[in-house]
Amino acid sequence: MKKTGIFSGSFNPVHIGHLALANWLCEYEGLDEIWFLVTPQNPLKKEHELMDDRLRYEMVKAAIGDYPRFKASDFEFSLPKPSYSVDTLQKLQEAYPDRRFYFILGADNWVTISRWKNHEELLAGYPVLIYPRSGYDVRIPARYSHIRLVGAPVIDISSTHIRQAFHEGKDLRFFLPESVMERLYGDGR
């Protein structure tokens, strides 16, 4: 059974931190593949802050290119909005029974997991890999033996910072894959 990591997020935009983390999870945590699941609307984020759904999906596709262990997914685009991770994981398991799904979660989201819809069901039903974020202390209750903090390097790059820098006209060439830069800047860099 394939071990598939579900890296769900807005990817607003996708950046090298996302890609480096996904690569690390495949190479050091035993995942066979990572699906970058582009979320149309996170219920904990304001919708007007998001770039167009299709643009974010196309940027993820462009960023991962033909790397065989990464897949861009618009699976949630056909689900009711807002998207809830527990519902998405259940639908994914129904659609792909030949895979074992691992939910990838940042330490910043771990500390707010109790606000998520049916979070106990999600935590009981799926292995969770928590990646470290600066300033967040992760404590995992003993009852969750299938949830673990991974030793991935902390990469302090955020999509929020990138969007702000983009609007300020900053040169972001080393923060974003070239294919994403082309979609954001066009030829007018």
Query: Could you tell me the residue ranges of all domains in the chain?
Result: 2-185
Give the residues of the chain that fall short of pLDDT 70. Answer: 42-48, 187-189
Query: Can you read off the two tokens belonging to residue 135?
Result: 């300033």
Q: How far apart are CA 55 and CA 59, in angstroms?
A: 6
Radius of gyration of the chain (CA): 16
* CB atoms closer than 10 angstroms to residue 38: 28
In the block, residue with structure tokens 């996302």 = 18
Tell me what pLDDT residue 136 has: 94
Residue 72: what residue type? A
Tell me what pLDDT residue 188 has: 47
187 burial (CB, 10 Å; 0-12 / 13-18 / 19+) is exposed
Return the CATH superfamily for domain 2-185: HUPs (3.40.50.620)
Contacts by 144-152 with C-beta closer than 8 Å and gap 24+? 147/123, 149/107, 150/24, 150/25, 150/28, 150/29, 151/28, 152/21, 152/24, 152/25, 152/28
pLDDT digits (tens, 9 = 90+) for 121-149: 999 999 999 999 999 999 999 999 999 99
